[in-house]
Structure 1
């Protein structure tokens, strides 16, 4: 792996190492370090590290990564993490003592490879310490799914990292940066040697007394100024207890759920992507909408956590009509999709829905109104969520 790949993967590797260390004392704390928000943060930090290393615009790094796929995988890990935590909570009375007494019970085994899990299932590792009772059933299943999803995410990040090492523009930018750093380093050594030899120590002190900062490099001067922050960044709230945080992801502004409010009835969870908005250059205040659509709720029926993967679709239009959003001052109106799945299109476990056939849904266009609660300028802005006429 080259410098660029190492830079992208570094934050994720550090997080996995930290999680493994914490997991030797507290499994729940380990899981909390490996949720969707934490994995997204690792991606963001890695992208910034690549940009800094190659003296390259960070948004240009994002565009070279399969961000949609990476974020979808991070979401899948997040859902599996929630289920694993619930499985632990359900068996907490029997597991707690065993976890506390099993110092160094083996989570460190998950860190034997350069990335993390290396094919070892978390469920199998834990089951070895809690007895045969938990080798089958929901406990093992939940941790096994979590391990599998995390491995898939790590594998995708590694593939993306290796692609950066073969990107011609990034490789060229990195080579220029490395060469410039080498030249600067050699220049400093030669200046010091010349001053010490020609002027002595007093001359050296005199020559460096009024040092000025080095001039900005030609390549840095050539970079365009950063674009102004999007007016969408900030916190947004809907009319039914929903709050969202809007953050910049590649070429889009992503609205993530901070509090699902009434959307919880549809299976939406905290940290989940709800919308991505992309500016329509030809029209001020107008945006193209990409929405994560879940079925409309059935009164009195709960969506089980395992329904998360199949009970959603990504939509950008309804019946050929693109979804649009319009910003007016502190009010954002988003065209949304209402998706009605017939009862025969659901998979059931008791009274709960565990899966959906979204291809059987009837779709119509609705509207969601968000009101700004706080503007956020800079990195990782938080935005509150939406939802007047929720789909």
Structure 2
């Protein structure tokens, strides 16, 4: 149902699409996702097109319990009033493969889009959107962060690619998030001419404000300016492998004055605290759950961002860290690195074999000993992130629509 104070997305001209001068884009997404909503605000502010976002659940707008964080979550800063949207289910329904909204077809018919943007292919809701778009002759743009960096066995890789090939039938265009993602879709048979790089958006308004004000949580964490601080943000669950970062700092000589800050919460917290207390007493700070509004200050406290995950298709935290001008160390099981991705090894960051604590410690030792390289790598992170976020906040859609022959005027 549409809230009374929400914009009406069904304001069609009576003679249909032929009378329109701007393409209409329907964005079909499970629920208000904290880092995507700022992108919708940017898209809605552009006169080159019309958008409407169709949500199947109110999770995020309405409070819910995140089982991995182990806490009750309600996202601020969604700015729902700043872009046209519809909640098809007025309830915080859990987001699973069973998520659906039978009213979607009628809502889309009222909006009459030229393009339907669909996220992933596992939910009933997304399959419903694609089926209906095909019956109406609307182009479908697909977004997912699929890649193979975290998939080790050959049979599993083949199965994933085959599944993607099956679901990509009838998809007009894939909106990609990075190099590994594009390699995956190429293996699934999607030609480069039907891929447009989007990348994952962040709340650039929030981060620009933090950069301008120069806020940092370093003092709050009790860290001196002389400390070399490495940090990671994420749920305390096994696949994030924060223990590798703890074990790595324990291998470094105390004279390097290296400190680790871990932002997050979750079921592994007590085990991680015990590990840190035993191996690296006084050298690891647990920042707790850090709200999105406070994350820029967390990144500003770091000299280097680290991501140890055993599987991470394309980390939002890395996109945020590089926007704050931080160099990055990440495991090779993450999908965020490549010559044209968030982390370009040897340019603005370094990779190591996932789970190899000694290799991680060696990179940390080298980075801690070389402030010049940290500054140079950080500057390159920032330069890349500015271009990447400009693309994610509108340039990608202009490029995609132009490639498919849909008129879109210049962005403001």
The two structures have a TM-score, normalised by structure 1, of 0.20
Greater relative CO (CA pairs within 8 A, separation 6+) = 2
Structure with the larger strand share: 1
Structure with the larger helix share: 1
The two structures have a TM-score, normalised by structure 2, of 0.20
In our comparison, the structure showing a higher alpha carbon Rg is: 1
